[in-house]
């Protein structure tokens, strides 16, 4: 054998004319091929059996682990498989899990498996240690923080769990309801404890407000909701509306009205009836204290920019000419009131070609839809703008609100068709 070298390459020449050299080379090639084949097979076995998408059992893994005891992935998979068996052997599962973390101490998944087994054996201290190691190895994995927080709660370490839950919620806000419920129960319903979970997290705060409302804490829920920046509350319109609806259902009418006013940009000291002149567009996302329009088969309701009493718009009702015309809650507004207080409600109306056995009325009802007061009926004919007014006393009981609406109720099961157009404008309500 001779070696020729140059500045840029090396040439190796083998003299295989002798039988011994050829045999030696053949054996070396066979050994290398065998080693390579074993490596390929072992990698295939490990890669296949350790793939979590493949369902494996304890029996499927024991022989491969016996042949490849140095595979951390196979040991960890066998530990998990043993742990999931109905007749599991926790000591055996722990043995394989410990072998996995010893072989590969920087894979947080193996520590999670060990933590589950340690807790199942009743050793929560060892489980906590394993989870803290996993947390150090994978500080950005929300699932690790959530599991550690969950374990700390069950250990009675509520104060320590809060930091872990905060990290988990910050990365995955869908965890908020579960974390709130755990801490709420473990802290014996400590509002401050669950509030600390949602600091500087608008979505989590919104979930917290919903949670507190569900726990009959409407005042605290409103405080949390009000601490969220306005842009975040508006962007989460559905959740914000749900919260305000919950406050209304809980009878916290003034609180709900204040939150609503802030959301839509209305002065809280504004008139009791909002948008009484129909000058502002109807709030679609936040309709709690604005006019609500519903479809009617007896009339078409619209905002008319051509015939205002004042300002630039009015409410227009075009009757379809059907017999036994009925209007109930097609146009209405919820108004917060003081129980027992006396109020005056006024508006203006005009008519054109209006024909009816009896015209519509402005009606005040309570939260159970019981009539409290009603104006005179709009008379038939054509007329320019005229004032309509009524007085009423707010109910002593109920949720502290009344509903203002325009109703037309037939006196009999059949009456003549209602035709023509009626406009309403400049609704105003004052406490006497």
Distance CA 384, CA 316 (A): 14
Radius of gyration of the chain from its Cα atoms, rounded to whole angstroms: 38
CATH number at residue 86: 1.25.40.10
Confidence at residue 397, expressed as pLDDT on a 0 to 100 scale: 85
Distant-in-sequence, close-in-space partners of 343: CB < 8 Å, separation ≥ 6: 272, 337, 391, 392, 393, 394, 429, 430, 431, 432
Domain that holds residue 332: 292-431
Confidence at residue 346, expressed as pLDDT on a 0 to 100 scale: 96
The 10s digit of each residue's pLDDT in 269-280 is 667 999 999 999
- What is this structure's pTM? 0.74
Give the sheet arrangement for strand 299-304, strand by strand.
Answer: 299-304, 314-320, 419-431, 342-355, 381-393
CA angle 198, 203, 205 (to 5 degrees): 40
Judging by DSSP bridges, how do beta strands 292-293 and 299-304 pair with one another? unpaired
Instruction: Give domain status of residue 345, yes or no.
Output: yes
CATH number at residue 383: 2.60.120.260
Closest to 424 in 3D by CA, of 398, 406, 412: 406
- In this predicted structure, the answer to whether residue 65 has a pLDDT above a threshold of 80 is no
User: In which band, very low, low, confident or very high, does the pLDDT at 76 lie, cut at 50, 70 and 90?
Assistant: confident
Instruction: Give domain status of residue 93, yes or no.
Output: yes
Instruction: Give domain status of residue 242, yes or no.
Output: no
Confidence at residue 265, expressed as pLDDT on a 0 to 100 scale: 83
User: How far, in whole angstroms, is CA 30 from its chain's centroid?
Assistant: 63
User: In which band, very low, low, confident or very high, does the pLDDT at 226 lie, cut at 50, 70 and 90?
Assistant: very high
Instruction: Give domain status of residue 21, yes or no.
Output: no
Instruction: Give domain status of residue 362, yes or no.
Output: yes
Name the domain count of the chain: 2
Judging by DSSP bridges, how do beta strands 401-407 and 331-336 pair with one another? antiparallel
Instruction: Give domain status of residue 262, yes or no.
Output: no
Instruction: Give domain status of residue 230, yes or no.
Output: no
Confidence at residue 46, expressed as pLDDT on a 0 to 100 scale: 46
- Judge contact between 346 and 372, C-beta under 8 A: no
- In this predicted structure, the answer to whether residue 200 has a pLDDT above a threshold of 50 is yes
The 10s digit of each residue's pLDDT in 153-167 is 999 999 999 999 999
Instruction: Give domain status of residue 253, yes or no.
Output: no
* Helix (DSSP H) and strand (DSSP E) numbers for the chain: 15, 12
The 10s digit of each residue's pLDDT in 363-408 is 999 987 899 999 999 999 999 999 999 999 999 988 889 999 999 9
Which neighbouring-strand residues pair with 234? none
The DSSP line for 76-119 is HHHHHHHHHSTT--HHHHHHHHHHHHHH-TT-HHHHHHHHHHHH
Cα within 13 Å of Cα(60), Cβ side:
14
The 10s digit of each residue's pLDDT in 107-150 is 999 999 999 999 999 999 999 999 999 999 999 999 999 999 99
Confidence at residue 3, expressed as pLDDT on a 0 to 100 scale: 44
Neighbours of 205 (CB within 10 A): 22
Confidence at residue 369, expressed as pLDDT on a 0 to 100 scale: 86
Of 104, 139, 174, the one marking the end of a domain is: 139
Average pLDDT over residues 309-324: 96
Which neighbouring-strand residues pair with 314? 304
Confidence at residue 32, expressed as pLDDT on a 0 to 100 scale: 66
Of 118, 139, 160, the one marking the end of a domain is: 139
Of 139, 162, 180, the one marking the end of a domain is: 139
The 10s digit of each residue's pLDDT in 284-293 is 888 899 999 9
Neighbours of 80 (CB within 10 A): 23
């Amino acid at each position: 054998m001779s070696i020729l070298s140059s500045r840029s390459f090396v040439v190796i020449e083998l003299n295989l004319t002798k039988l011994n050299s050829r045999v030696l080379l053949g054996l070396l090639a066979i050994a290398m091929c065998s080693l390579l084949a074993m490596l390929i097979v072992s990698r295939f076995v490990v890669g296949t059996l350790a793939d979590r998408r493949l369902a494996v059992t304890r029996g499927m893994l024991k022989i491969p682990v016996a042949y490849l005891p140095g595979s951390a992935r196979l040991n960890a998979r066998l530990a998990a498989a043993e742990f999931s068996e109905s007749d599991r052997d926790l000591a055996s599962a722990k043995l394989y899990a410990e072998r996995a973390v010893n072989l590969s101490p920087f894979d947080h998944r193996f520590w999670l498996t060990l933590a589950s087994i340690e807790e199942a054996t009743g050793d929560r201290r060892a489980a906590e240690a394993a989870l803290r190691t996993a947390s150090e190895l994978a500080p950005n994995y929300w699932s690790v923080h959530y599991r550690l927080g969950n374990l700390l709660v069950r250990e009675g370490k509520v104060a320590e769990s809060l930091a872990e839950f905060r990290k988990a919620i910050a990365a995955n806000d869908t965890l908020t309801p579960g974390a709130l419920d755990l801490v709420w129960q473990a802290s014996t319903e400590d509002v401050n404890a669950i509030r600390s979970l949602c600091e500087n997290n608008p979505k989590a705060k919104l979930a917290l407000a919903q949670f507190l409302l569900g726990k009959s804490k409407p005042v605290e829920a409103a405080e949390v909701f009000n601490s969220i920046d306005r842009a975040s509350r508006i962007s989460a319109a559905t959740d914000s509306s749900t919260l305000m609806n919950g406050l209304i259902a809980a009878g916290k009418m003034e609180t709900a009205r204040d939150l609503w006013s802030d959301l839509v940009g209305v002065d809280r000291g504004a008139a009791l009836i909002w948008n009484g002149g129909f000058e502002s567009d109807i709030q679609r996302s936040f309709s709690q204290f604005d006019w609500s329009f519903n479809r009617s088969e007896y009339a078409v309701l619209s905002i008319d920019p051509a015939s205002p009493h004042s300002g630039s718009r009015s409410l227009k009702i075009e009757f379809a000419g059907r017999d036994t015309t009925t209007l109930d809650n097609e146009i209405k507004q919820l108004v917060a009131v003081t129980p027992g207080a006396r109020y005056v409600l006024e508006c203006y109306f005009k008519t054109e070609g209006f024909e009816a056995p009896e015209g519509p009325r402005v009606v005040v009802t309570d939260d159970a839809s019981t009539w409290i007061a009603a104006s005179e009926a709009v008379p038939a004919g054509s007329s320019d703008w005229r004032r309509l007014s009524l007085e009423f006393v707010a109910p002593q009981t109920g949720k502290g609100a009344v509903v203002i609406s325009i109703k037309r109720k037939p006196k009999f099961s059949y009456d003549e068709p209602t035709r023509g157009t009626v406009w309403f404008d400049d609704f105003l309500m004052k406490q006497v």
